[in-house]
Structure 1
Amino acid sequence: MPKQLEASEQHRRAVLKALLCITVFGGLLFGIVNIFRELYVLSALELGYAAFSAYLLRFIGTTERLRFWTVIFLLPFFGLMIFAVLLPRTSFTVFAWVQTIPIICYLLLGLRTGLLMSAAFVAMGLLAFNYRYMTDASLFNIIIVANVGLSSMAIMLFSHVYERSRVDNERRLLELASKDVLTGLANRMKLAEVFERERSHALRDNKPLALVVLDLDHFKRINDQFGHEGGDQVLRHVADLLPTRLRETDLFCRLGGEEFALLLPGADLGRAAELANALREQLCATPLQLDNGLVTLSFSAGVAALGEDGSSLDALMRTADRRLYEAKGGGRNQVVAEEQDCSVVR
């Protein structure tokens, strides 16, 4: 599971734990109070739900079926609220619990499910309140029902707007966090996320997966001659040029500095080396015009494949890095796909 999804799930676990604790305390408190008020059915339901909440607290922090148990908890929980509103001897203040439904739904279930569930139960709560307290058509009662209805709709609307904004902001932050600011390419974090997904697909479908790590040759010399602005233009040039030869399923990313990586689903070691060589030749044949002159570029690269060179991203990175340094040591401007086996073009 991607780290951002794990963080979101942990947030919902924490919210659900807090709600369960409140339910245990509130269920015991109101259950005991309602015994003295002789509301025995409501008291039994409240005490029973306090016990159920205490039971859920034992494993809700570790269960893999968090959404399932959340729905199992919320449906009767909200139903109990509606039932309490309908009982003839309860106070109208119990409707305050109904107005917490949108907030709880959006926090625990997200935007779409939160909207559907909160709309359904708030509507039932308003009908129950109207049935219970709208005894006549007096202006005073109409005003009460209108205030209750509008305040409930406002809470639901504000909860929806807030959750929508939170989701959009989270998505934008994740996009920023997974992109290299200078080139607009994916970064190392995005590579790790996509690798896990493609690794699962490769193992399930018995298909190859390859990683290429490449490093621009003599980049320090370019920085010294053309300045850091010139170096930045070179990096952007590489980022714009090389992806034009790639498939949509391939991932080209910047690891940092002048180092890039290429993840190739469906490509074995030989196919990945051929593609890396084609990209190297394309870069050599496409010099960059800077203010101070024409810059001819090249890179050295190392290739590793899932399975024969390791089963994790770290293992493939280590192998590809080792072969990259072999390419550098062998004269640069070449691709190494196997130990001591260089394809050299000068």
Structure 2
Amino acid sequence: MDEGLEASQQHRRLVLKALLWMTVVSGTLFAGLNIGRELWLLAVGEVFFVLLALAVLRLVDRTRHLMWVTVAFLVPFFSLMVLAMLLPRTSFTVFAWIQTIPIICYLLLGLRGGFWMSFVFISLAVAAFGYRYQVQESLLSLMMMANVGLSSMAILLLSHIYERSRVRNEARLIELASTDNLTGLANRMKLAEVLERERSHALRDNKPLSLIVLDVDYFKRINDQYGHDVGDRALCHLSTTLSGRLRDTDLLCRLGGEEFAILLPGAALDQAAELANDLRRHLSDNPLDVGAASQVMTFSAGVAALGEDGQSLDELMQTADRRMYEAKAAGRDQVVAAGQQYPLSTPRHL
């Protein structure tokens, strides 16, 4: 979902800003300490990153290319960490900062980008540690490298597992939030998201976009006669029956109760009305099995088109809903679109 993506982007902006402010504070502190120790190369690098962090802070909330800005900051940032390990007079405690690489990468770059950047810089850091702190005793050197390498890879692995689980859980929550529990169809929130996207495409490419709103006729009678379980089956039957007649690009959703909507990208008003009428006949020709009997189902529908009937979801819904009630008032089992009315196929009273 677009909302989910935007929320994820906002989260990463906050994390990046926290990292940048930490860079400003810690970079200023260590630059002063390294100037005192006459570690000029490291001090210059830290001053540079303080200035870079301040510059990036001005971009974080405005940029549309957050990922590239993040990568452009992290690559030299981690490179300075590795370089600090190679300088002869730096403390081995600098490796404590290397251990933060996987956490930072996964928080800012996600699953795939986080893994590859972590793997590359952890590998370089472990190699730099081994080069810098190798000792005469080969077994001791091997143990030091093993401890450093395994602890670093453990942090990388745990960060990867956590991020993968978080992504899956987030995707599942988004799916649940945008899906009707009974029918498995999209709900109104999903409709609003998809309509906004398809509206942008339609306006950009000068293509039509239509919306059908339909309501099951005499649905209360089905509930009263057979019970709510059969009523639920009737709604699922309608969703399955109509879905089989739609394109992959069309979106069938349940608005609530016995009311549904169909979003039709690329379909003009007359095409949408023709499809709605075809769906009406198809549903009528495929009754719901209720034990030894069968229950014929029909619906009344209203159709609205982007532009002439409104620009937003609320406007299109209002127009289509009004026409759907016109179809109900005219006897049900029909479609109304911009004044044109399809007659009843066969009079029924369910």
Deviates more, 1:151-160 or 1:134-143: 134-143
Q: Would you say 1:155 and 2:155 are equivalent positions?
A: yes
| Cα distance in 1, alignment partners of residues 257 and 93 from structure 2 | 62
SS state at 1:324 partner? helix
- 1:256-267 paired onto structure 2 within 5 Å: 256-267=256-267
Deviation at 1:138, TM superposition (A): 3.2
2:57 matched residue in structure 1: 57
1:23 matched residue in structure 2: 23
| Cα distance in 2, alignment partners of residues 180 and 137 from structure 1 | 66
1:235 matched residue in structure 2: 235
1:8 matched residue in structure 2: 8
Contact 1:277/1:334 (<8 A) preserved: yes
2:129 matched residue in structure 1: 129
- 1:293-332 paired onto structure 2 within 5 Å: 293-332=293-332
1:205 matched residue in structure 2: 205
| Cα distance in 2, alignment partners of residues 76 and 6 from structure 1 | 27
Amino acid at match of 2:60: I
| Cα distance in 2, alignment partners of residues 290 and 17 from structure 1 | 60
2:98 matched residue in structure 1: 98
- Give per-residue Cα distances to partners, 1:252-273, cap 9 Å, x unaligned: 1111110001111221101110
Amino acid at match of 1:225: Q
- Give per-residue Cα distances to partners, 1:146-200, cap 9 Å, x unaligned: 1001111111111111111111222222222221110111111221222222222
TM-score (structure 2 length as normaliser)? 0.94
Q: Would you say 1:342 and 2:341 are equivalent positions?
A: yes
| Cα distance in 2, alignment partners of residues 142 and 247 from structure 1 | 62
Deviation at 1:58, TM superposition (A): 2.8
| Cα distance in 2, alignment partners of residues 105 and 166 from structure 1 | 15
Amino acid at match of 1:344: P
SS state at 2:59 partner? coil
| Cα distance in 1, alignment partners of residues 137 and 38 from structure 2 | 31
Identity, in percent, stands at 63
Pairwise CA RMSD of aligned residues?
A: 1.5
Unmatched tracts of structure 2, length 5 or more? none
Deviation at 1:76, TM superposition (A): 0.9
Amino acid at match of 1:282: H
1:190 matched residue in structure 2: 190
| Cα distance in 1, alignment partners of residues 136 and 213 from structure 2 | 77
Deviation at 1:79, TM superposition (A): 0.8
Contact 1:226/1:292 (<8 A) preserved: no
Deviates more, 1:190-199 or 1:28-37: 190-199
SS state at 2:301 partner? strand
- Give per-residue Cα distances to partners, 1:263-290, cap 9 Å, x unaligned: 1122110111011011111112222122
SS state at 1:135 partner? coil
- 1:26-175 paired onto structure 2 within 5 Å: 26-175=26-175
Deviation at 1:21, TM superposition (A): 1.3
Deviates more, 1:101-110 or 1:131-140: 131-140
| Cα distance in 2, alignment partners of residues 60 and 143 from structure 1 | 42
| Cα distance in 2, alignment partners of residues 219 and 260 from structure 1 | 13
Amino acid at match of 1:254: R
Number of aligned positions between the proteins: 345
Contact 2:82/2:124 (<8 A) preserved: yes
| Cα distance in 2, alignment partners of residues 176 and 261 from structure 1 | 19
Amino acid at match of 1:160: H
SS state at 2:213 partner? strand
Contact 2:180/2:186 (<8 A) preserved: yes
Amino acid at match of 2:104: I
- Give per-residue Cα distances to partners, 1:35-88, cap 9 Å, x unaligned: 111112211211221122122223312322211211111111101101111110
Q: Would you say 1:226 and 2:201 are equivalent positions?
A: no
- 1:263-302 paired onto structure 2 within 5 Å: 263-291=263-291, 293-302=293-302
Amino acid at match of 1:62: R
Deviates more, 1:195-204 or 1:84-93: 195-204
Deviation at 1:10, TM superposition (A): 0.6
| Cα distance in 1, alignment partners of residues 205 and 65 from structure 2 | 26
| Cα distance in 2, alignment partners of residues 293 and 269 from structure 1 | 37
Deviation at 1:223, TM superposition (A): 1.7
| Cα distance in 2, alignment partners of residues 115 and 136 from structure 1 | 34
Deviates more, 1:11-20 or 1:222-231: 222-231
| Cα distance in 1, alignment partners of residues 285 and 69 from structure 2 | 59
SS state at 1:62 partner? coil
Unmatched tracts of structure 1, length 5 or more? none
| Cα distance in 1, alignment partners of residues 247 and 182 from structure 2 | 22
TM-score (structure 1 length as normaliser)? 0.95
